[in-house]
Amino acid sequence: MIDVLISLPMWSGSLVAMGFTTVTGFVVYLVSYKLISKYKREDMKEPTNNLFRVVGMLFSLMLALAFSEVIADQRTTRNAVQRETVAISDIFEVLKMFDIERTRDIRTNLVDYSQAVIDDDWPALADDRLGKRPGVLKRQLAEGVINLEAANPAQEKMLSYIMADIDALSDYRVVRLDSALAKPPVFIYVIIFGFLVTMACFGAYRPQAPLVVLAFLYTVFVGLVLYLVLAMSDPFQGNFGVAPAPFEHLVETLQSEIR
């Protein structure tokens, strides 16, 4: 169900989430009101109000933690993508310094790898896997660098820098895969339970127009935030995914240099 919700267009997904929380919330509210109204006494009013405050504060805290976690995870993924493009750019520039003619094919291979990340890796990451072609091109890139012969200590040092950056490319790909495989925060279920408990606490109050409006706005807001948390929990799927824009800019720049 979560995957279906995320795959919907942003407005459709958010409306579905808000509609679901609103309907579910009011069902819990009305059932709770029916049950509580049978046993409610005047001396229960103060304890009920205190309980309502505590539950609301705990629910707000869990919701804030979930939202901050998915934002931090997505920022980590974006930083990894940017560092990956920086490593590719560094490899390209050091190869030029090593020998601009002897490394032309390797640099072309590097550009092909960057394009394959866009064409193969990104669609594959939406299905929680990596593309095959970038892996093949990266192996060819490493083999090409290994076959280079250093003529002096400076070139030997350049080769060590290049190999270190190539190894880093593997690490950054793993980071992207880990992010794609990540699931919504485990305490998202606690948040849903807290939402239901909060709506049950509304049952201590008789349905009146002002309260119904406030409860409606509350459920809509919770539905919107829950949708954002779920949509942002997978950085390579849905409307809030991480775009391959750094790679697109990099490919355009490197292709112009090769030409």
Which of 83, 150, 147, 81 minimizes the C-alpha distance to 117? Answer: 81
- On average, the pLDDT of the chain sits at 85
User: Looking at per-residue confidence, does 91 or 230 come out higher?
Assistant: 91
pLDDT at 13: 82
Contacts by 131-136 with C-beta closer than 8 Å and gap 24+? 134/173, 135/173
> Could you read off the pLDDT of 18-77 as tens digits, one per residue?
999 999 999 999 998 888 777 665 555 566 667 777 777 888 888 888 888 888 888 888
- Residue-range definition of the domain harbouring residue 92: 2-258
pLDDT at 48: 64
Q: N- to C-terminal Cα distance for the chain? A: 48
Which of the two residues, 110 and 188, has the higher pLDDT score? 110
How many whole angstroms separate alpha carbon 228 and alpha carbon 7?
A: 13
Between 3 and 142, the higher pLDDT residue:
142
In 3D space, the residue among 255, 248, 241 whose CA is nearest the CA of residue 117 turns out to be 248
Confidence of residue 185 (pLDDT cuts 50, 70, 90): low
| Mean pLDDT on 234-256 | 85
Domain count, the chain: 1
